[in-house]
Amino acid sequence: METPRMKKKKSIRSYLLKQHFFVITITVALFEIAIFIGLYHYYYKNTEEILASHAKNAVHFAMRSSELSPFQLQYHIPEMINDYQLRGTEMQIVSPSGNILASSSGFLPDEVIEHHILQQATIESPIPWKGKNPSSGERVMAVVVPLENGEETIAYFRYVTSLERMDIFFKRQLSISLGVGGVIILLVLLLSMAFSKQMTTPLTRLTKASKRLARGEFDARIHGDYIGELDTLAKSFNEMSHALLQHEKMKDEFISSVSHELRTPLTSIKGWSDTLLTGDLNDIEEVELGLNVISKETSRLTNLVEELLDFSALKNESYSLQPTTFPVKALLNEIQTQFKKQTNKKQLTLSVTACPDVHIHADKNRIKQVLINLVDNAMKHSPSGNDIELSGRINEGSFVFSVIDEGDGMDELELEKIMAPFYKANPNTVGAGLGLSICQHIIDLHHGEFLLESKRGEGMKASFSIPFDSHEIGE
């Protein structure tokens, strides 16, 4: 159970910012490490390689150009200092015991080179060393290489250079690199904030619009153009909201229509009931007229209630079919006979076309209900003197029923809406606007297909097909 003390869930925006910050920080850190390694090699390793290379070359030249021995070394020291020194460095000649015998700087440092450093040095692998100069305290780098006579080491060449200026340049470049990295992180963080805002703005608006929708405000919309799936989500929400608004309007229209449909017959029934109760019951003509009106309006109410019950059963999927095998021609003739009085009254012709020996397996009463609804609609929209064609035919594994009239027809926009529940092209027409929707459900239960074709002023063709087995011919 949630309590006020429970931690609030993280927002997507903060989550995105943290993820971006983590990724960018790791990336910049790796970049800084690469720069550190590059600068280190550029300043220190290069210097070390230059010292080591010069030291090796100097020793090789010294051993080739002079006959050196421990006894003759002291005579060649000034010459070697002069010939093999390196500009910008201090060259020292060190005895095998570690004492500094001579220096290109002109003074002898009061220090002894550690014995293990001297022992590790070879001509091909000079030993580098970094540390502080005991006399000055500054950081220095030194490279030691042995000067050999045969297999005997008679001295060591040691080259020493100051690292103070190099340390300053290295720290300066490293500071610049760190500063650039910090600026990159800051800029990326700002861009991430803008990006996350762009990502979360439609979600925030969707949340607010959803809350409005939950309160029954079906005109809630999400405005703006967004990227990728967010734009699709916004459009889908707007379409859903529009559909709910249409359903709400349809519901209101349905309530108004049903109220009107109920009020009219009830008013007639109430009026004639009062008239008969207060009138002269011996007036046979008036009593018959009143009872006829009451009977007619009661039938109208019954039809309306049955439509509503059928629609409710179909929507709740509690509607079941009772299929039987029956002749198509006989069914169409029944419908023709049923509408004979209405067609004569309106001076319409209802023609029937079907093979007499074709039987189909379906729910006869529901198929008849669909055909009656379609013929009734065709009669309502057909002027006097027109023809209505009721037919049934076999078509590639299906049996197709059609009702074609020569009435007013309707345009494409109306045709798309006409199948919707409670929709009426003319609000003043009798009925709840459920007939075609119920027909659609009945045909769906038969695994068939319902189709309406029409153009304004060119009549209407309503047809539906149901699965048909050719073995049913002549049964």
Per-residue pLDDT tens over the stretch 31-51: 888 888 887 787 788 888 888
For the cut 50, the answer to whether the pLDDT of residue 356 exceeds it is yes
Instruction: Give residue 9's pLDDT band: very low, low, confident or very high (50, 70, 90).
Output: low
For the cut 60, the answer to whether the pLDDT of residue 1 exceeds it is no
Q: Which of 123-137, 245-259, 293-307, 432-446 has the highest mean pLDDT?
A: 123-137
We find that the CATH architecture of domain 249-315 is Orthogonal Bundle (1.10)
Write out pLDDT tens, residues 436-462: 777 888 888 888 898 888 888 778 888
Cα–Cα distances (Å) from 318 to 192, 309, 361, in that order, read: 54, 11, 21
Q: CB–CB of 140/132 below 8 Å?
A: yes
**Where in the chain do CATH 3.30.565.10 domains reside?**
324-472
H-helix or E-strand containing 128?
strand 127-132
Instruction: Name the one residue in this structure whose structure tokens are 């030194």.
Output: 142
Q: CB–CB of 102/81 below 8 Å?
A: yes
Cα–Cα distances (Å) from 420 to 74, 424, 426, 432, 472, in that order, read: 115, 9, 14, 12, 34
**Where in the chain do CATH 3.30.450.20 domains reside?**
13-169
| pLDDT score at 293 | 80
CATH domain 324-472 topology: Heat Shock Protein 90 (3.30.565)
Write out pLDDT tens, residues 324-351: 899 989 999 988 898 888 888 888 888 8
Distance CA 393, CA 355 (A): 7
Residue 230 is encoded by which pair of tokens?
């967010």
For the cut 60, the answer to whether the pLDDT of residue 199 exceeds it is yes
Q: Which residue has the higher pLDDT, 475 or 144?
A: 144
| pLDDT score at 5 | 45
**Where in the chain do CATH 1.10.287.130 domains reside?**
249-315
For the cut 80, the answer to whether the pLDDT of residue 304 exceeds it is no
For the cut 60, the answer to whether the pLDDT of residue 75 exceeds it is yes
Distance CA 352, CA 100 (A): 129
Distance CA 314, CA 78 (A): 116
| pLDDT score at 312 | 65
Q: Which residue has the higher pLDDT, 170 or 261?
A: 170
For the cut 50, the answer to whether the pLDDT of residue 154 exceeds it is yes
Q: Which residue has the higher pLDDT, 260 or 412?
A: 412
Write out pLDDT tens, residues 124-152: 888 888 888 877 778 888 899 998 887 78
Q: What is the CA radius of gyration of the chain?
A: 52
The mean predicted confidence, pLDDT, of the chain is 79
Residues 6 or more apart whose CB falls under 8 angstroms from that of 393 comprise 353, 354, 355, 399, 400, 402
Burial class (CB in 10 A: 0-12, 13-18, 19+), 55: buried
Q: CB–CB of 357/474 below 8 Å?
A: yes
Residue 421 is encoded by which pair of tokens?
């529940």
Q: Which CATH class is domain 13-169?
A: alpha beta
pTM here is 0.45
One-character DSSP codes across 291-347: HHHHHHHHHHHHHHHHHHHHHHHHHTT------EEEEHHHHHHHHHHHTHHHHHHHT
Mean pLDDT score, 257-271: 72
Q: Which residue has the higher pLDDT, 187 or 429?
A: 187
Mean pLDDT score, 397-424: 77
DSSP secondary-structure letter at 178? H
| pLDDT score at 401 | 92
| pLDDT score at 46 | 86
Write out pLDDT tens, residues 271-289: 878 777 787 777 777 778 8
For the cut 70, the answer to whether the pLDDT of residue 4 exceeds it is no
